[in-house]
A and B are shown apart, each in its own frame.
Chain A
Amino acid sequence: KAGVTQTPRYLIKTRGQQVTLSCSPISGHRSVSWYQQTPGQGLQFLFEYFSETQRNKGNFPGRFSGRQFSNSRSEMNVSTLELGDSALYLCASSLGSTGGGHEQYFGPGTRLTVT
């Protein structure tokens, strides 16, 4: 079974621009969660999508948004980029069901650098 894939792997943007990152979950997984990893803050939860609906949201400004498509693929968007948005953005998928399958499997991440 193919793992979680994320595109692009690396991205360089300028302050004020916007960016869209993509994530394809493991086949059969319906939940996709996004995390931001920085040296100072560690791994921080951004949001989770399940069956095309945002099920949970972390403490990030509204510039961070996401969506999920009917095939469970997900995108996240960051508008008006700031220098502090430079980070590794990780996507994780899981079954998302109530009976189990709580384990999240991560993709390789997208390294975003804002200059």
Chain B
Amino acid sequence: DQQVKQNSPSLSVQEGRISILNCDYTNSMFDYFLWYKKYPAEGPTFLISISSIKDKNEDGRFTVFLNKSAKHLSLHIVPSQPGDSAVYFCAARGSSNTGKLIFGQGTTLQVKP
């Protein structure tokens, strides 16, 4: 049972435009959500996170939005840069006070110059 889903395997955007990556989840007990970027043969790099008590968190070019009623979160990258091209994973914390993250399958973002 896939509790965290990223339904778009890939996304292509033009440099300077906005990239929007989406993620859906099924478990209403998730209390913390994170986004990671991953290059081939490297470990995931933490980007931004959001607690379930908030609906928005911003860090530079990255903003994460959380819609709890829809069980949906999204990552906005503005403006997109070619160096942002990578696989993006959303993750949810499985239960309170644990180090168990449940990951989506990832979305490959390509930013074209």
A55 contacts chain B at the CB level, 8 A cutoff: yes
CA distance A50 to B42 in the complex (A): 24
Q: B95: which A residues are within 8 A, CB to CB?
A: 56
State whether A42 and B103 are in contact (beta carbons under 8 Å apart), knowing that A48-B98, A56-B98 are contacts in the complex. Answer: yes
B63 contacts chain A at the CB level, 8 A cutoff: no
CA distance A104 to B89 in the complex (A): 13
- How many residues of chain A have a CB within 8 Å of chain B? 28
B1 CB to nearest A CB, Å: 11
CA distance A96 to B99 in the complex (A): 7
State whether A43 and B100 are in contact (beta carbons under 8 Å apart), knowing that A106-B43, A109-B43 are contacts in the complex. Answer: no
Would you call A50 and B43 a contact (CB within 8 A)? no
CA distance A111 to B44 in the complex (A): 14
Would you call A109 and B42 a contact (CB within 8 A)? yes
A58 contacts chain B at the CB level, 8 A cutoff: yes
Would you call A108 and B98 a contact (CB within 8 A)? no
Binding site for A on B (CB under 8 A): 32, 34, 36, 41-46, 49, 89, 91, 93-95, 97-106
Binding site for B on A (CB under 8 A): 4, 31-33, 35, 42-45, 48, 50, 55-56, 58, 90, 92, 94, 96, 98, 102-109, 111
Having A43-B44, A106-B45, one finds 12 other A-B pairs with CB under 8 Å, namely A4-B43, A33-B99, A33-B101, A42-B104, A45-B102, A48-B99, A55-B98, A102-B32, A102-B49, A104-B99, A108-B42, A108-B43
